[in-house]
């Protein structure tokens, strides 16, 4: 398949699955009661907003206000002229044996036009044939030229799939990867930003970044991550998240194994944005088969993620998603979540949050643990989480009620008779009867099955 044949509807793999039951495993076995959530949940991702976009642009609100700043930072002795050049003028200058000063002027002008907040002329630049010049500029031994070209390309590959493919087919990926490990941190960060945009576009372009040694570049940067500015490390963490993001298909297991080692370091970084993006990356890593989930467990990243329950909700959201994903795995992986102390943190979290998204994710996580062994069900009961689930079913947001109905259904189907009777002791029947007024067929089915199993258990006890 050529790059031009990439699926242009990458957002499809981010969309909600309307067939909710397809996210639930076969209900006949406890290990099959668990469900997988789609890669992204609209509600929980709203907490991340623009920060969790697959692509990011580097814009300047006033494109004239940065005159001279980059020259001083990159030790450019001559301040570039501020007059904006047209695309035709740029082509004419670059085709006539330009000096380095001319190149700086051309690529700075081009970068500024692409950094406009509204309607940047990406297609015009592509159609004018200037992509080739930008790619060639990455190899010019002038830091200012390299920086401006990398910035311009960053904004081109932040666009549509077609625009990104145009840059990739022009040969931008490999030199951008090479520049991402440049000793000059400004060039390195800007080039990595562009690489992350390419990887974030689709699974196919992510694989192409891998082929161009993007993973090796990331791990090289991780060797000196303690010496980098926070903004640079944020870009690294976001690049990690884009390398792990796409799941149709996932990145190769060995690639994810390498990335997991870097994530174990990034989730401990002092900067909250770094920890946040790194945690989302782990959530993508764990949104797959048990072999991927085991990578997160084995690299030691999970204990730090549990600590995020005590931090801002921007960190709670990906932490819940990650541990919920882990709990969808086999009994050993589910036990790992319990052993980390996650259940003890959920009750205070649900009591203090005002976010229905957080409550919903908590109920989903609990339901996946309840879908485990009877010992694991008991751990949920011992953590005093059943009254909370019943209260959510009685008075929560309808989406939270739906998740709570699955948790109670899993308890009824997988618990011992004594555990099922706990539903009666905790006064779940009024909440279950109230849920019969819901119009969601899946929720009605959950509720009826729970009531039936409870009545049958009482009758036989």
Does some domain include residue 309?
Answer: yes
* pLDDT of 15: 39
- The pLDDT profile of the chain, 461 residues, written as one tens digit per residue, is 445 444 443 344 333 333 333 333 333 444 456 554 433 333 443 334 434 568 877 876 544 445 444 554 554 444 444 568 999 999 999 999 999 999 999 999 999 999 988 889 999 999 999 999 999 999 999 999 999 999 999 999 999 999 999 999 999 999 999 999 999 999 999 999 999 999 999 999 999 999 999 999 999 999 999 999 999 999 999 999 999 999 999 999 999 999 999 999 999 999 999 999 999 999 999 999 999 999 999 999 999 999 999 999 999 999 999 999 999 999 999 999 999 999 999 999 999 999 999 999 999 999 999 999 999 999 999 999 999 999 999 999 999 999 999 999 999 999 999 999 999 999 999 999 999 999 999 999 999 999 999 999 999 98
| Tokens (6 digits) for 86 | 């047209």
Rounded to 5 degrees, φ, ψ at 359 are -60, -45
What is the rounded distance in angstroms from the CA atom of residue 435 to the CA atom of residue 441? 11
Helix 185-201 / helix 203-211 crossing angle, nearest 10 deg: 140
H-run or E-run covering 439: none
Cα–Cα distance list, 356 to 352, 360, 365 (Å): 11, 6, 14
In this prediction, residue 60 carries a pLDDT of 63
Query: CATH number, domain at 372?
Result: 1.25.10.10
Is 31 inside a domain boundary? yes
Sort 373 into a burial class: Cβ within 10 Å, 0-12 / 13-18 / 19+. middle
- Residue 448, in any domain of the structure: yes
**Domain membership flag for residue 445:** yes
**Given this model, what pLDDT does residue 35 score?**
53
Residue 59's pLDDT is 72
pLDDT at position 157, please? Answer: 97
- Domain containing 460 equals 23-48+302-461
181 inside domain: no
CA angle 283, 284, 290 (to 5 degrees): 85
Which sign does the torsion angle of CA 270, 294, 404, 400 carry?
positive
H or E element at residue 171? none
Q: Which residues pair with 35 in a beta bridge?
A: 24
Look at residue 449 and tell me if it is in a domain.
yes
Residues 6+ positions from 208 with CB-CB distance below 8 Å: 3, 168, 173, 198
From residue 283, alpha-carbon distances to 152, 240, 278, 326 in Å are: 31, 12, 9, 9
Which helix (H) or strand (E) element contains residue 436? none
The total domain count for the chain is 1
Q: Is residue 266 part of a domain?
A: no
Inside any domain, residue 234:
no
Report whether the peptide linkage leading into residue 276 is cis, meaning its omega lies within 30 degrees of zero: no
Distance CA 281, CA 296 (A): 11
Q: What pLDDT sits at residue 79?
A: 47
């Amino acid at each position: 398949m050529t790059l031009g044949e990439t699926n242009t509807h990458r957002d499809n793999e981010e969309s909600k699955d309307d067939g909710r039951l397809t996210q639930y495993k076969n209900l006949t076995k406890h290990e099959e009661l668990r469900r997988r959530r789609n890669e992204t949940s609209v509600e929980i991702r709203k907490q991340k907003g623009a920060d969790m976009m697959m692509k990011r642009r580097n814009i300047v609100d006033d494109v004239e206000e940065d005159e001279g700043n980059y020259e001083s930072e990159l030790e450019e002795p001559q301040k570039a002229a501020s007059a904006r050049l047209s695309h035709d003028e740029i082509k004419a200058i670059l085709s006539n044996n330009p000096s380095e000063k001319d190149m700086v002027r051309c690529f700075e002008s081009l970068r500024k036009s692409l950094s406009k907040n509204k309607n940047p002329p990406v297609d015009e630049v592509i159609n004018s044939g200037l992509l080739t010049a930008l790619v060639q500029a990455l190899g010019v031994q002038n830091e200012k030229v390299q920086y401006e070209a990398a910035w311009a390309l960053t904004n081109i590959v932040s666009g549509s799939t077609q625009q990104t493919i145009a840059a990739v087919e022009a040969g931008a990926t490999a030199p951008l990867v090479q520049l991402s490990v440049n000793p000059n941190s400004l060039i390195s960060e800007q080039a990595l930003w562009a690489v992350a945009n390419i990887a974030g576009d689709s699974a196919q372009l992510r694989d192409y970044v891998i082929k161009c040694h993007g993973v090796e570049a990331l791990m090289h940067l991780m060797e000196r991550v303690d010496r980098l500015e926070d903004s640079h490390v944020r870009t690294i963490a976001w690049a990690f998240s884009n390398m792990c993001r796409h799941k149709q298909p996932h990145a190769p297991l060995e690639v994810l194994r390498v990335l997991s080692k870097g994530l174990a370091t990034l989730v401990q970084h002092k900067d909250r944005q770094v920890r946040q993006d790194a945690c989302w990356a782990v959530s993508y890593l764990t949104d797959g088969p048990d072999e991927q989930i085991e990578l997160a467990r084995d690299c030691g990243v999970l204990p730090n993620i549990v600590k995020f329950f005590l931090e801002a909700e921007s960190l709670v959201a990906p932490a819940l998603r990650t541990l919920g994903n882990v709990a969808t795995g086999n009994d050993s992986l589910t036990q790992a979540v319990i052993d980390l102390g996650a259940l003890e943190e959920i009750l205070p979290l649900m009591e203090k949050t005002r976010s229905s998204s957080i409550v919903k994710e908590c109920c989903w996580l609990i339901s996946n643990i309840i879908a485990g062994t009877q010992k694991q069900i008991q751990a949920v009961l011992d953590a005093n989480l059943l009254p909370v689930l019943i209260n959510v079913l009685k008075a929560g947001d309808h989406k939270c009620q739906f998740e709570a109905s699955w948790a109670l259904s899993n308890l009824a189907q997988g618990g011992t008779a004594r555990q099922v009777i706990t539903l009666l002791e905790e006064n779940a029947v009024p909440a279950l009867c109230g849920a019969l007024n819901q119009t969601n067929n899946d929720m009605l089915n959950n509720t009826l099955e729970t009531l039936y199993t409870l009545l049958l258990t009482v009758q036989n006890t």
